[in-house]
Amino acid sequence: MKIIISVFLCLVGIKSFASYPTDFDYIENIETTQNFQQILTQAELTASVEGGKVLQTAGTMIDDKAIVVGSCWDYIDAVYTRAGYQSDQRLTVFESKLPGPYVQDDLIQAGDWLYFINHSFGNVEHSALFIAWTDVANRQALMVSYAGGDQSIPARLKIYDLSNVYNIIRPH
- For 27-38, the three-class secondary structure string (H helix, E strand, C coil) is CCCHHHHHHHHH
* pTM of the entire predicted model: 0.81
Q: What is the mean pLDDT of residues 58-80?
A: 95
Please tell me which residue, 1 or 172, carries the higher pLDDT value.
172
Q: What is the mean pLDDT of residues 71-99?
A: 97
Residue spans of alpha helices (H) in the chain: 2-18, 30-46, 49-63, 72-82
For the 29-171 domain, the top CATH level (class) is: alpha beta
CA distances from 73 to 8, 12, 45, 59, 126 (A): 43, 37, 25, 17, 8
Q: Is the pLDDT of residue 150 over 80?
A: no
Lowest mean pLDDT among 12-16, 83-87, 138-142: 12-16
Please tell me which residue, 152 or 124, carries the higher pLDDT value.
152
User: Each residue of 9-49: pLDDT tens digit?
Assistant: 333 333 333 332 333 343 345 567 788 989 999 999 999 99
Q: Is the pLDDT of residue 96 over 70?
A: yes
Please tell me which residue, 35 or 7, carries the higher pLDDT value.
35
CA distances from 132 to 16, 40, 94, 148 (A): 37, 8, 18, 22
pLDDT of residue 2: 45
Q: Based on DSSP, count helices (H) and strands (E) in the chain, helices before strands.
A: 4, 6
Q: Is the pLDDT of residue 100 over 70?
A: yes
Spatial separation of the C-alpha atoms in residues 127 and 118, rounded to whole Å: 9
